[in-house]
Amino acid sequence: MKSKKEDSPITVVGLTTDGKECLGGIFAMAATYGFPLPASMAEAERMGAIISWETYIKDALKAGWPIDRAFKAIRAAFRETGTPVPVRDGRDLLDLWEEAQCRPLATS
């Protein structure tokens, strides 16, 4: 969490149902400070926290990244760390999130 002494963009943006902190500011750590996303994943795991991927994606979009670039960065970090992508009902959660974020607009 941020303190007045720190310049870190890391904040707690929520809690999981089992009480783990969900961390925001991870995109800024990479984009502003050059701290690699895989290193952020490892540090979050070491702390018993998780990264809020929703916040990461929103921050990347605010910074002008296309959504596919944000998902590519996340997938690459999962591959690099050897962390399995979460799965729900047999489907890769990143696929599900990407589909939800990239739904085509309804046409009339």
pTM of the model: 0.77
Condensed to tens digits (0 to 9), the pLDDT of residues 38-58 reads 999 999 999 999 898 889 988
Q: Are 23 and 52 in contact (CB under 8 A)?
A: yes
Look-up: residue for tokens 């009902």?
89
- Residue 77, pLDDT > 90, answer yes
CA distance 91 to 97: 11
* Structure letter (DSSP) for residue 51: E
Say what the pLDDT of residue 44 is.
93
Could you tell me which residue, 62 or 107, shows the higher pLDDT? 62
Q: What is the per-residue pLDDT for 46?
A: 94
Report residue 36's pLDDT band, with 50, 70 and 90 as the boundaries.
Answer: very high
Is the pLDDT at 27 greater than 90, yes or no?
yes
Give the pLDDT confidence score for residue 86 in this predicted structure. 73
Mean pLDDT of 27-38: 94
